[in-house]
Structure 1
Amino acid sequence: MQQNNGLDKSQIISFAVLCLVLFGFMFYFQNKQSKEDAVKAQQQKTEQAKNTVKQTQASNINPNVTPNAIQTANLSNKELKVEFASLGGQVSKVELAEYKAYDHKTDNADLPLYLITKNNSNYGFQFKDKTGKVINTKDLVFAPTVNGNAVTMTANYNGAVIQFIYTLLPKYTLDFKVRTQGLAKITADNKADFIWDYNVRNLEKGRAQEQSHSEFSYAFNNYKDYDYDGRTTMEEDKETLNWIGVKQQFFASVIESKTGFTQSKGNQETVEEGEYLKKLNYEGFVQMTGSELNQDFTWYFMPLDLPLLKSYDKNFDEILPLGWSFIGWMNRGFFIPIYNFIASWGLTAGWAIFLLTILVKLILSPIMYKQHKLSAMMRVIRPEIDEVNAKFKDADPMKKQQATMEVYRKAGVNQMAGCLPALVQIPIFYALFRFFPNFIDLRGKGFWFAKDLTAYDDLIKLPFKVPFLGDHLSIFAIACTIVILIYTVMTSGNMQQPQQEGMPNMKVLMYIFPITFLFFLNTSASGLSWYYFVSNAINILIILVIKYLILDEKKIHAQIQANKEKPKAEGKFQKRMREMMEKAQEQQNVQQQQRKKK
């Protein structure tokens, strides 16, 4: 029997030592980072004591209106702080009071979280007067009046009165009513053009990741259907949109129309660097009755928290990109509830992910057992496979393949069974790829040296940028790559190498894969890297336990010999493969005979 290509006892000890080194490496950098954070915090306090707060002036959007003439009004509750500007009568500032934004200067989430500020959002209703002149409410000057939790913005235009009535409500909601009187005297339009320009502000650490999650979101068909667009021009000229929103990684700004937006279109432009991630422009029409604009709208400036989104009953939960179909179901029905249940025990986010990983491994353990039993059977029959390869070395490849399959069939080995674990883990991987960077409960939750498990850890900073890698190295990503390499070494020992010239060496490809994984994980959520580090470390332990404590290769060899003595029923898949090979062999023989005749 050929010698086992798995790890021996000395290699097991090496693996254990390596794990200890990795954990020691992590703890070292954790302590180093804690000291650096303390120094940064002290420096920040000193700077705050020296600097005075500067008042920000509104920019002069309308050249006919001076900054001093722009008035503001404010409303606030425990969730939102909203400012309204007299120019355009629009929302000029929105702060989510219970959340903080990431500060690239301090490497901490310690800034006020503004979805709207510094004129990054600009909207208004546009129509034509009877002379054909285009009028947009964003250019008009409104007078604000505050009454409790409501602000009424009033503007006059050629005798017509336009009022925007805003009422701040719970659950991140701002009621928005538009009322006009006398507008019919100056316009004959039966619909108004709603134009909204929005620049997405950078609020998170991972710029590229947040940028990829910034996009248009909208619902139609009486809130039943949902769609999004993150890369192309948006055109919905046939649908009536119930709401249109700009989604970011963890937050969204949404406006709902009670009668809907028609003939909607939009475009977007990616911003490579600076304060903003994307520029989005939207245009849609709302109905006017008798040339008067009396419509009800609602603004939502909300975190993408799944229970909150569901509570609105407006299909907002679709904004959260947890994956389509079965992928989304796994996140909504399994990963989120299980994580919340484990976290309710009072554990930190990192250890909750650790236990979640163990639970997933326990669920998949029967499949893994079958996989490693198949691997053991392949090791046992390897000498016979090598004999077939040697016997048919110079023969037709089809005959060699048929002989190889006959060995597998007699031994009772189903090669396709080894593909099952890989197929099962593909949807799990994609579900977690969606889960970690979009689950708001993990936002800002640190673990060891990773300050935010929804972003990458960049404790090791590089003095230059590496293509596809960035200007840092993630320790979690490096640790994950190392354990994947170890796992690859342990599972590739029995892989049959291609006998034909020009065929790729599968072992080499398997070793390249973990390296490419490093490039992917280095800028991904550190929670994902931590999950896969633990997952693959457990895989290695499971292999060692199965190999040395559970599976007995002598018994497996005896079982295979017994299988050979029994008349073996041919499975459907094996029958189809045999028939296909026989047919291919016949065609090849016919072609050879025709060549000889010529």
Structure 2
Amino acid sequence: MQQNNGLDKNQLISFALFSLILIGAMFYFQNKQAQEQELLDAQNKTQTTQSAVQNTTKPALATNLNDSVKTTSIQQVQLKNKELTVGISTLGGQITTVQLNEYKAYNKNTDKNDKDLLIFDKNNSSYGFQFKDKTGKTFNTKDLVFTPIQNGNSVTMQANANGAVIQFIYTLLDKYTVDFNVKTQGLSRLVADSKADFVWDFSARQMEKGRSQEQTHTEFNYSFNNYKSFDYDGRTTMEEPDETLNWLAVKQQFFSAVIEPQHGFKNSKGSQEMIDEGEFLKKFNFNGQVDLVGNELNQNFKWYFMPLDLPLLKSYNKNFDELLPLGWSFIGSLNRWFFIPMYNLISSWGLAAGWVIFLMTIIVKIILSPVMFKQHKLSAMMKVIRPEIDEVNAKFKDADPMKKQQEIMAIYRKAGVNQMAGCLPALLQIPIFYALFRFFPNMIDLRGKSFWFAKDLTAYDDVIKLPFHVPFLGDHLSIFAIACTIVILIYTVMTSGNIQQPQQEGMPNMKVLMYIFPITFLFFLNSSASGLSWYYFVSNAINILIILVIKYWILDEKKIHAQIQANKQKEPKKEGKFQKRMREMMEKAQEQQKMQQQQQPGKKK
């Protein structure tokens, strides 16, 4: 499928006039529906009889199905409810337009979400059932011209293929659902295979501000094993030859198109191709087999065009909630059972989304306060014993590094300082960071919510626009990302004094690396959700306040120093299992190093 670059102004005017003519024709023909149906049934019976006679001499062939198609014969029937507006074309009997009525898409010209949100439109989707006839040739329903018969929010599309009758019955339901019932009669005289292919070509349209972020979240998703298992594929191809897919979705950042076959897709395969620029993000192609019973296709399908709202997804009871990429295992549980309920609770107080995030940050800090206090207390104690560490470094400057490290560990042990205690807060921050990295760009309740510089907390703020493109940074600077980088840098400066510098030649300066780390955050956050930058700005600002409070109001360095000196006079504490294991490993490594030196040529034994 070729990329569609959209319609120009003249084409839009022509299309609008043509649509008005079609709508008038629909009202005119609606009064004759009953008569047309009776006439159509009579024709079908005649054609079926003729086909039966012909089949006694030679097999029926499905050839030249589209020779008689004229542009003027193509119509579009519209179904509409509160949630969806669906347009169905008589060419292929397929859904060609899908609009989510309660949502808007991002408009680059206005920098707002004020465009109609169209999942299908401008021929970006094409699907149909592909059959193989008795001569080995294939034909596809998307090439047939169907006749529509509408009854309220249901329409029957009917076509003839060399005497076979094919019906697509669409019914617009609640909860973003379109029932798609497929019926055939006489198809068994045409086809020789007991299977048909469902072929879907789809180009995903950009609907959000952050193109790269939305591209990352645009991918194949599917369920199998009776809706119990789930998988996704964001790479170039997908292959599922052994599983029967219960549903197949093309998922974007906040919305998804899902096709669900009654009896599943078999031998499924698909491909996806990135689109670098323009209206669309990715091209998708999917091919899945459906079984024919008696060489006839009579099966119910369902289309879902839905927002990725967690309560809605759960309500289907079809494993659709996996479409929301909240993270695997513990990360996903942290989002589902902690961050999302907390956000929903605080936002129910009527606060702006930015202040909801602010309160969420404070709550997380309060929960982590015991371990954070221990970390900052350890930092203060490390500062007190820094002179003694420096003395050991100077004393063993030219000695064996292992010996020097053993002496330093002895000082820690005598002072009652447990270095590993500082690792716990860092380890706790890792799952929280990754959970929030998943939470902010995928929380639909935050979509379109503005706060200060950001017009949408699920996308970046670009108040500062650059006249050129910077690699890995883009053509803008996010104020929230800059602010977050600054506070992380300040926090690093305040805590880097306790970092022990390596004494070996060729080893990198750890302080320099610590200062470079915050700068990398700017590149990471500049095109990420501004809600994430705002959260980490608040979080690190609170860290700075905690350090200042501990330093000036809670911990007394003189008392800590006195406590350390008292610990030295006491009988050394019994080594813990970890400390003992570390000491034994270092001693073993030291012995191996000595043996290697003795075995080298020219060394005295």
TM-score strictly above 0.5: yes
Matches within 5 A, 1:119-518: 119-518=123-522
Measure the CA separation in 2 of the matches of 1:423 and 1:438: 24
Displacement of 1:53 = 9.7
The superposition leaves residues 60-87 of structure 1 with CA deviations (integer Å, 9 ceiling, x where unpaired) of x967533321111111110000010000
Measure the CA separation in 1 of the matches of 2:470 and 2:130: 48
The superposition leaves residues 20-59 of structure 1 with CA deviations (integer Å, 9 ceiling, x where unpaired) of xxxxxxxxxxxxxxxxxxxxxxxxxxxx9xx98962869x
Displacement of 1:106 = 1.3
Displacement of 1:352 = 0.4
State the secondary structure of the residue aligned to 1:194. Answer: strand
Measure the CA separation in 2 of the matches of 1:199 and 1:328: 29
Identify which range, 336-345 or 382-391, moves more after superposition: 382-391
Q: Let me know the Cα RMSD of the aligned residues.
A: 1.7
Measure the CA separation in 2 of the matches of 1:235 and 1:56: 44
The superposition leaves residues 556-598 of structure 1 with CA deviations (integer Å, 9 ceiling, x where unpaired) of 1122122222221111111111111111222233334444347
Measure the CA separation in 2 of the matches of 1:378 and 1:534: 26
State the secondary structure of the residue aligned to 1:366. Answer: helix
Look up the match of 1:583: 588
Measure the CA separation in 2 of the matches of 1:190 and 1:174: 27
Going from structure 1 to structure 2, the CA distance change for 1:107 and 1:490 (only over 3 Å counts) comes to: same
Identity of aligned residues (%): 76
On the 8 A contact 1:209/1:524 being kept in 2, the answer is yes
Look up the match of 2:75: 71
Measure the CA separation in 2 of the matches of 1:294 and 1:280: 26
Displacement of 1:269 = 0.4
On the 8 A contact 2:224/2:247 being kept in 1, the answer is yes
Measure the CA separation in 2 of the matches of 1:310 and 1:410: 56
Look up the match of 2:548: 544
One-letter code aligned to 2:577? K
One-letter code aligned to 1:526? S
Measure the CA separation in 1 of the matches of 2:14 and 2:567: 82
- Residue 55 (structure 1) aligned to one of 16, 24, 28: 16
On the 8 A contact 1:236/1:263 being kept in 2, the answer is yes
State the secondary structure of the residue aligned to 1:55. Answer: helix
Does residue 105 of the first structure (1) align with residue 109 of the second (2)? yes
Going from structure 1 to structure 2, the CA distance change for 1:499 and 1:156 (only over 3 Å counts) comes to: same
One-letter code aligned to 1:305? D
State the secondary structure of the residue aligned to 1:487. Answer: helix
Displacement of 1:325 = 0.4
TM-score of the aligned structures, taking structure 2 as reference length: 0.88
State the secondary structure of the residue aligned to 2:498. Answer: coil
One-letter code aligned to 1:284? G
State the secondary structure of the residue aligned to 1:437. Answer: helix
Going from structure 1 to structure 2, the CA distance change for 1:63 and 1:560 (only over 3 Å counts) comes to: farther
One-letter code aligned to 1:591? Q
State the secondary structure of the residue aligned to 1:513. Answer: helix
One-letter code aligned to 2:165? V
One-letter code aligned to 1:283? N
One-letter code aligned to 1:370? K
On the 8 A contact 1:172/1:302 being kept in 2, the answer is yes
On the 8 A contact 1:481/1:515 being kept in 2, the answer is yes
One-letter code aligned to 2:383? R
One-letter code aligned to 1:583? K
On the 8 A contact 2:236/2:273 being kept in 1, the answer is no
Displacement of 1:292 = 0.6
Look up the match of 1:45: none
Return the structure number with greater relative CO, CA threshold 8 A, min gap 6. 1
Identify which range, 308-317 or 494-503, moves more after superposition: 494-503
One-letter code aligned to 1:318? E
State the secondary structure of the residue aligned to 2:311. Answer: helix
One-letter code aligned to 2:340? I
The superposition leaves residues 189-227 of structure 1 with CA deviations (integer Å, 9 ceiling, x where unpaired) of 211110000100010000010011000010000000000
On the 8 A contact 2:223/2:245 being kept in 1, the answer is yes
On the 8 A contact 1:57/1:67 being kept in 2, the answer is no
On the 8 A contact 1:182/1:292 being kept in 2, the answer is yes
Going from structure 1 to structure 2, the CA distance change for 1:54 and 1:296 (only over 3 Å counts) comes to: closer
State the secondary structure of the residue aligned to 1:570. Answer: coil
Measure the CA separation in 1 of the matches of 2:18 and 2:372: 63
Look up the match of 1:29: none
TM-score of the aligned structures, taking structure 1 as reference length: 0.89
Measure the CA separation in 2 of the matches of 1:53 and 1:108: 28
Measure the CA separation in 1 of the matches of 2:114 and 2:67: 36
Aligned residue-pair number: 547
Moved runs in structure 1, 4+ residues, more than 3 A? Answer: 51-54, 61-64, 591-598
Structure 1 stretches lacking a partner, 5+ long = 1-47
Measure the CA separation in 2 of the matches of 1:85 and 1:512: 57
The superposition leaves residues 402-442 of structure 1 with CA deviations (integer Å, 9 ceiling, x where unpaired) of 11111111111111111111111111111111000011000
Measure the CA separation in 2 of the matches of 1:98 and 1:455: 20
One-letter code aligned to 1:394? D
Structure 1 or 2, whichever has the larger Rg, is: 2
Structure 2 stretches lacking a partner, 5+ long = 1-8, 20-64
State the secondary structure of the residue aligned to 1:260. Answer: coil
